[in-house]
Amino acid sequence: MVESKPPVDLRVPVIWIVLLTISVFAHAYVEVADTGYRVTLAKAVAQEVTSHLMIAAMLPALYWLHRHRPISAGPLNLAIHVAAVVPFSVIRTVGMTGLRLLWFVGILGERYSFPLTANRLFYEFTKDIVNYAMLSAAVIAIRYLLERADSLKSLPPSAAAEAALPAVEVVRPERFAVRRRGGKEVVVEVADIDWVEASGNYAILHVGGERFEIRSSLSKLEGDLDPKRFVRVHKSHLVNISRVAEVTPWISGDWRIRLQDGAEVNLSRRYRQRFEALAPVRS
């Protein structure tokens, strides 16, 4: 089965575009003021744009490093991040210089000098120590706030509200009669279902490598199945928690679930709290 790619969380790039845009104009204004207004605002903005473009280009690498080497995991990871400031500063400074020369000299035809001397590199490095620390703090804070917002959206009704409702015994099916290709019907034990996939007005039951269609929405099927055994992990997927073999980090804060039959499905941030209520993930 070919898995669809997890959806890109557009909130992350939008947040960074806003933050970096604000930073460009704030730094440009400070530079103009520091030079006694000898540098025009347009030139200062152009210079700051080159620096911030390099930062934006390195953000995916920074996210990757924080995901695989979280600072909170111990001194070794902290040391790796401290060492990462050096290549971060070198790449930003060299790339920024190239972009400025391309813009001012190559495109505008103006004279522009930005010598990459040892003193200049050291000066940029001291600034990048603060830059790296602030960017790392922002990466951690943005991820926390987005996951917090998603978890609040997916919270079930409060325990108090549930307690106020009269107790109703829910009868859950132990098996389904499903139709094979060719018209024959077979009985599928609920306990044998590995995972369930939405498919329009149908749901596809994955059982021991076989696929069976059942006419039901995924939401209705989720209500019929035992919530202590089957958990929603994505808008299009339910999994049998006893069939989960491995959970690994994925992109944009999502996770990837590998099942015992070899299939892989997404664990989106929106449903992660439900999943961890049955199987806590330790990252």
**Same domain, residue pair 15 and 117:** yes
**Same domain, residue pair 241 and 210:** yes
Tokens standing for residue 209 = 């490598």
**Same domain, residue pair 173 and 148:** no
Residue 227 within any structural domain of the chain: yes
**Same domain, residue pair 93 and 137:** yes
Residue 227: CATH number of its domain: 2.40.50.1020
**Same domain, residue pair 147 and 244:** no
Structural domain ending residue among the three candidates 153, 175, 191: 153
- Per-block mean pLDDT, blocks of 10 residues, the chain (283 long): 52 92 93 87 91 94 89 87 93 91 86 81 91 93 83 57 56 79 78 89 86 85 88 90 87 81 86 84 61
pTM of the predicted model as reported, rounded to 2 decimal places: 0.53
**Same domain, residue pair 260 and 142:** no
**Same domain, residue pair 132 and 175:** no
**Same domain, residue pair 252 and 194:** yes
Residue 158 within any structural domain of the chain: no
pLDDT at 70: 86
Residue 5 within any structural domain of the chain: no
Structural domain ending residue among the three candidates 153, 186, 215: 153
230 φ/ψ angles, rounded to the nearest 5 degrees:
-110, 135
Residue 64 within any structural domain of the chain: yes
Distance between CA atoms of 204 and 202, rounded to whole angstroms?
7
pLDDT at 55: 94
pLDDT at 156: 57
Residue 17 within any structural domain of the chain: yes
The 3-state secondary structure of the chain reads: CCCCCCCCCCHHHHHHHHHHHHHHHHHHHHHHHHCCCCCCHHHHHHHHHHHHHHHHHHHHHHHHHHHHCCHHHCHHHHHHHHHHHHHHHHHHHHHHHHHHHHHHHHHCCCCCCCCCCHHHHHHHHHHHHHHHHHHHHHHHHHHHHHHHHHHHHCCCCCHHHHHHCCCCCCCCCCEEEEECCCCCEEEEEHHHCCEEEEECCEEEEEECCEEEEECCCHHHHHHHCCCCCEEEEECCEEEEHHHEEEEEECCCCCEEEEECCCCEEEECHHHHHHHHHHCCCCC
Residue 22 within any structural domain of the chain: yes
Please choose, from the candidates 69, 67, 74, 29, the residue with its C-alpha nearest in 3D space to the C-alpha of residue 47. Answer: 29
The count of domains in the chain is: 2
**Same domain, residue pair 194 and 131:** no
**Same domain, residue pair 138 and 26:** yes
Strand partners, 265: 257
Residue 265 within any structural domain of the chain: yes
pLDDT at 128: 92
Structural domain ending residue among the three candidates 131, 153, 175: 153
pLDDT at 5: 46
Please choose, from the candidates 123, 144, 149, 138, the residue with its C-alpha nearest in 3D space to the C-alpha of residue 62. Answer: 138
**Same domain, residue pair 137 and 20:** yes
Range of the domain at 30: 11-153
**Same domain, residue pair 82 and 124:** yes
Residue 173 within any structural domain of the chain: yes
pLDDT at 88: 94
